[in-house]
């Protein structure tokens, strides 16, 4: 049997440490396999500016974001090393979180894009990010969303764990089905198609 090719898992993290840790923990515990690469990305949102003051502020924000991403990944270094999972930290800069995530997914040829609903964002804003990612992710990239179950984009698939407050959504259910069956046979999950 030929081992599967290593996957790249892009994990969109936020400044909310608990949510970022939960998402990275799920990625490394459930989805990632030996030789896979987990890439944690934080997207800074802003407009391009030529002013020196604005450029200094942007540089400061990038340094702060890099420090945050590296510190979050630090908690997973030992686990990933023992599981032979590679870790990378990235900071993106875009006019919106959704565009930044898709740009990063394309730039690293991500196989998976994992997102988490952020508590400090409005539901409407979150749905726009999720919908944009579902609609614009490369065909080879499976989009997963973890968090509280809410109204989802059309033709999405939900998988619920035994914890009622946690679920995930996938744009390409068949590839997730295969990956999930291979990677987590003991999860005890069920699939349910969503209709509007």
The domains of the chain, with CATH numbers, are 8-193 (3.40.50.620)
Q: What would the two tokens of residue 180 be?
A: 């999930």
Q: Are 10 and 113 in contact (CB under 8 A)?
A: yes
pLDDT tens per residue across all 196 residues of the chain: 676 789 999 999 988 888 889 899 999 999 999 999 999 999 998 876 666 667 788 888 888 999 999 998 888 988 888 899 999 999 998 999 999 999 999 999 999 999 986 555 556 777 788 889 989 999 999 999 887 554 544 544 444 333 333 344 455 444 445 444 444 433 333 222 222 2
Read off φ and ψ for residue 109, nearest 5 degrees: 55, 55
């Amino acid at each position: 049997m030929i081992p599967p090719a290593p996957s790249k898992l892009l994990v969109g993290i936020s400044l909310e440490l608990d949510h970022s840790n939960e998402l990275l923990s799920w990625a490394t515990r459930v989805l990632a396999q030996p030789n896979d690469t987990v890439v944690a990305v934080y997207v800074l949102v802003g407009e391009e500016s030529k002013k020196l003051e604005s450029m200094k502020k942007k540089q400061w924000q990038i340094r702060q974001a890099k420090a945050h991403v590296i510190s979050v990944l630090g908690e997973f270094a030992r686990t990933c090393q023992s599981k032979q999972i590679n870790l990378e930290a990235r900071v993106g800069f875009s006019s919106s979180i959704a565009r930044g995530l898709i740009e990063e997914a394309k730039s690293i040829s991500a196989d998976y894009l994992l997102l988490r609903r952020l508590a400090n964002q409005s539901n409407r804003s979150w749905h726009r990010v999720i919908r944009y990612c579902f609609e614009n992710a490369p065909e080879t990239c499976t989009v997963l969303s973890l968090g509280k179950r809410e109204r989802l984009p059309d033709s999405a698939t939900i998988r619920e764990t035994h914890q009622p407050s946690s679920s995930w959504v996938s744009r390409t259910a068949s590839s997730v089905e295969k990956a999930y069956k291979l990677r987590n046979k003991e999860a005890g999950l069920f699939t349910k198609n969503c209709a509007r």
